[in-house]
């Protein structure tokens, strides 16, 4: 039997409002336990999961680009923004599921799209 490597699946989260211009590329093929754990009520636990979901981002501060790792996130990224990444990831997963498993009467659509996340007041 020939081996089959699953292609990486990503979505780009584009932010508006206070975070206008920020872009975060997230994995849509994250292990299910990561997606399930993101619903945990413990914000610190959720923040620890974000480096496993984020492929890249364009975030920087006065010290330069911010690496996608837990220590940098805790020290340099506002917690509200990290929460929005979690919300955006869940929205991207829902959109991907609609494309992967459309209703029987729906026409097939393309894959991979840009997900916009709007910060609510």
Beta strands at 114-117 and 10-15: parallel, antiparallel or unpaired = parallel
Beta strands at 60-61 and 54-57: parallel, antiparallel or unpaired = unpaired
- pLDDT above 70: percentage of residues in the chain: 70
pLDDT higher than 90, residue 64: yes
Buried b (16+ CB within 10 A) or exposed e, 52-75: bbbeebebeeeeeebebeeebbee
User: pLDDT class for 65, splitting at 50, 70, 90?
Assistant: very high
75 or 115, which is more confident?
Answer: 75
User: pLDDT class for 33, splitting at 50, 70, 90?
Assistant: low
Q: What is the pLDDT of residue 57?
A: 94
4 or 90, which is more confident?
Answer: 4
Q: What span, in angstroms and rounded, lies between the C-alpha atoms of 81 and 83?
A: 5
Q: What span, in angstroms and rounded, lies between the C-alpha atoms of 5 and 46?
A: 29
pLDDT higher than 60, residue 56: yes
Q: What span, in angstroms and rounded, lies between the C-alpha atoms of 53 and 87?
A: 12
99 or 25, which is more confident?
Answer: 25
pLDDT higher than 60, residue 41: yes
pLDDT higher than 80, residue 30: no
- pLDDT above 90: percentage of residues in the chain: 18
């Amino acid at each position: 039997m020939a081996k089959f490597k699953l292609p990486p699946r990503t979505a780009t989260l584009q932010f508006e409002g206070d975070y206008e211009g920020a872009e975060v590329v997230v994995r849509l093929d994250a292990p299910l336990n990561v997606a399930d754990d993101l619903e945990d009520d413990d914000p610190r636990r959720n923040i620890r999961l974000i480096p496993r979901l984020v492929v890249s981002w364009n975030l920087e501060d006065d010290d330069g680009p911010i690496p996608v790792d837990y220590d940098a996130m805790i020290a340099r990224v506002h917690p509200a923004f990290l929460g929005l990444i979690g919300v955006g990831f869940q929205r991207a997963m829902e959109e991907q599921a609609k494309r992967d498993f459309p209703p029987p009467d729906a026409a097939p659509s393309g894959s991979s799209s840009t997900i916009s996340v709007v910060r609510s007041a």
